[in-house]
Structure 1
């Protein structure tokens, strides 16, 4: 039955996983669950879930503990989780059920996880909601007056601020949800309701140009001229058209402007002449010409004297007469006249003149009249010629450069390449104009190249990009391309000037160097892993060896005791002394093994941090040492100690060793005293290269006035088997302080010692003040 259920679970379309114990060991995970987690069966089975998928620990572990300890199932819909898939963090959404797993005695032994990924559904729903919100926001933010009407009663669903304030002169609360004709009864009899209903019935867009709309507002009746567009709205294909979106363009001013256009014509002529332009008209049927005063002034003639048309033509440069003739011939066909010519105004200088005109035709298409303007453009022409000369020099200079130089317009379209571009690519100017510059770029670099280039065009940030260009022989070489915008006097971008420099050798060298760094890094990682494995195996060996060594020691002690008891009356004094020495040696050996076992257990891999009340811990230790303290009449002075995040049993070892040392090395010749002092140190309070200046610390000092030690040995005493006194005077193995040092190292802290012979010893420890979130530093 169990095997059948397991097979069914593995083939289930939903993710199934069973976790055992408080460490949440993965007992079973079906294919659907493994696919969601982007893991294989070998990666997860019989492993702690949070070791396999560490990124979900902070979010999921509290929920698991609650289900495990309370038996209350946990369910969640659209639960957001960030998972590492294909080496990248991805946001996913799940429908989850966490069910307690019970054994035959109904005891909770684990958790059953049921997971259904709904990422696509959630994302699609969010997109749909966002599109609806965007549409409504677009209507509300539109610079065009807009409203949405629903149903045949044209009920107002919404209207943007411009429609409400500019035309309706009402608030949203006054109109939303009400029929249009109820809000604006004056529209009855006007043509708008019929047009709107026709859109509802036909589903066709309707446009109404320069329609007169009359609206009654609180400040009186208003007349508007509007361009309307009525667009059908459909909720879905089955319901058909359910509403109309109305867009209203206020063209009142345009209509009024058209009415005043005739009056403005004369003012326009005066405005043209005020710019320095000369105007003229030619009756093409009679060949009679009329002109403005400024026209004659441009030609250098007295406007108060009669002028012969032939005299005007005689002042045109002879080389430009043919240009004039052809321009007039074209105008009789196209209706547009435009050309430039040089004019001698009688001052022995040639002036550049720009002529524009339009030919009017009768109903039969016969040209009947020419109206035109002329403008002296000498200054602009000379500037343009100078600019062209400067551009020619620039092109000559650019063509001599070995680097590729190019220019684009403000929109990012390249229109100039220097000679190096054509020589490198093998494309002629015509070919490059036809295929485009992207043809040179390596296919793998094109998408990023275009995205980077368009970003710079939009933000006007300088362009800097490394990419590969195809050489004329088909080889690709790395180039570093730079481009900067050039601004005009108004601060607008006129063009982008760029260059591309060959960096192929440098790039190849950098890539090889990076590959070497990656290789060396991997070698270092492999070495660290091997070292960690070796240390773990060494610790396991020390534990097993220490455990197995205790058994023969216990037998030696037992046999010595038995011999002593059996031969008590017959053993000599020398024999009794030898047995006592044997017993003491066995006891010291056993203590050494116990200390070695303790030292091997202080392993960073076994850390389980928890809140640890040091006050409670120290008082418990002192109760165990109470008999020795009373016997030696030692006075204790204790500060209030903090509650810290630490490994509890290691803290107990630490303070037991330090307090036992202070008692053991007390001076019987004077009143003994032990002090435990505490101080909280904010980050940077104490300057030391061994302390992290960004962390807060707990500083705890254990001071005594015992026999002390020579300060020369303050570093040596933390080494394994290091003793400053004979074992006959002060018993011990020389491992206790080494254990203390290892415990403090495991907590990323610092321990130091200072002493003076006959004055006492001071041990100072620094433990980081870590919050639960900061334990990742340990």
Structure 2
């Protein structure tokens, strides 16, 4: 903004008042540089953000320029003076600004010149600390880089298709999966020709369902592509989804692609091996045998001979049978025969070495036959070649170990949920850290291990995936998890991938998650900050206008209040005192003229009238003194407290002598205040100390002070931040009081003792509190009954 100084004086004052209100309302550091006087003013936010108290900063522009980072200083200063010399209207820059602790903050600073007769005479502006935003941007960038690294490590390709013009964008990995097509060939119609003809229709249908606003299906399809340049056929697994505007029109279609050629090949090999094993079993069947235990003669089928030795023509004997057993499995056979002797059932699995040296797994099932005396006479049973099954189990075990290794080494949080109950299996360390539960959750159903998921969408989504076999992913999803015994909110990008067996049935779900809590919170905070900024911008002018009207109304009410107070003071000092003076005058004349005509009771009542009128006159005088305690800052000056104490002691000399009081006064300082009111303060404190003495002991009073340290000052309310303070103490050895009544003694008309014991109106200490408040100070006391009292007063000193 560019302003002039040619407007009327009142308008300028109003503009200055508005500027101060804006300086208080904003969280930015506001500065005002008077180019003619060479002074720079800073608002209070300078201390809040950078740790500098505005009153402690040098007044010239060096207070600004010397705190700019040396590497930025010359550039910033030259640009500022360039704007001033050219008479331009504004300046803005980003640079580093030194905090009070020596560290540097990144700030965005902008200033606007105020001109008079075409010449800049003033520059005002605001400085914003943008360090938190830069740190958030850096964290977001690091998170994005980590995500890119994770996707690179997982060999994932990303793609994005514009539904409007059907042009596609692939990252480098995705281009590799399609054989690196040229940029001119990145249109959908051209890319579709790279899909295997047998799969092309299925892919087209899946895309159509995903882009249909009525269906909005998740895109999840496996198909073959023929490389654009290398001609290599690859199996791809592509997942993604379309994004729709409010009218239901798709504006983006994106997802990821992963090569699954090796997985498909392995599955085909395993399926082929399983098929071959099934054909072998079906063709050969099981071999049967019977052993006559008396002669050890073996009756067997040719299939049994082939299963044991590899040849149907083998002359099978017990010795040949034992010799064919793998040496390492002899203990297995012996243990099985010992158990069979007890229960009559023979059952074991062992390896047998064929005549050609090959090793085969055989399952032996048998049963003893007994005679009428219970003696075993024969053993009959069957043998089955289970080599294929064992090898399949071993391959499955190897694949499972491979899967466990992949999950454990995955760069993102990963876990496997097995079965309809979603039993937690092989979660990696990153996932255990996400859940905050430790490895005790392994083997438990997910809803049991993490009961806080009840009522959240994840369990229902997993159940649906298990039923339908359709993968699911979500970005920035909210999850409420109990971590460290406390329910906390996090945000994740996650994917649920169903795993299927050879029959196409889902047997487990793979969960992969990336913690994006910081990014989501940063985005939410940025959105809230932008909304607050918009609201403040729209409401600022209304608030300034409203506040100006309120201040104007308050000034009118204050003037009326002061006028009423003056009228009350006049009435109290004239109209109210006049009847009292007549009462006192006539009662005195009655006493002097007709004293002889009154009996003792009449004299007593006349004395009571005179005492009551004196007390009321004193109370009116005290109330007048209290009501007149209105002091403006302009009436403050440096006051020698020692002179005031000396004056007060001189006024109270008669009372001091009558009460035989010894008063000790230390050297007193100079304070900042109003001399007349400080005199009232000291007179009330000293007269109270004289009045409330113990009759049985000599009265002593001490008046002393000390300087107040910053730590003590910080504990006291409503002190001037730019003034030093002294602690004044008036101590006596009088009757004291119970500190339970500490707040009560400073209130109007409050007394702890009856009038018959000690005279007074009950206003003195209230007047002391009012004087101290007028001086931006603080008053309190310490005492115990019978042990004297110490009244403590905090007063400011001149700057």
TM superposition score normalised by structure 1 = 0.35
- Higher relative contact order structure (alpha carbons within 8 Å, sequence separation ≥ 6): 2
TM superposition score normalised by structure 2 = 0.34
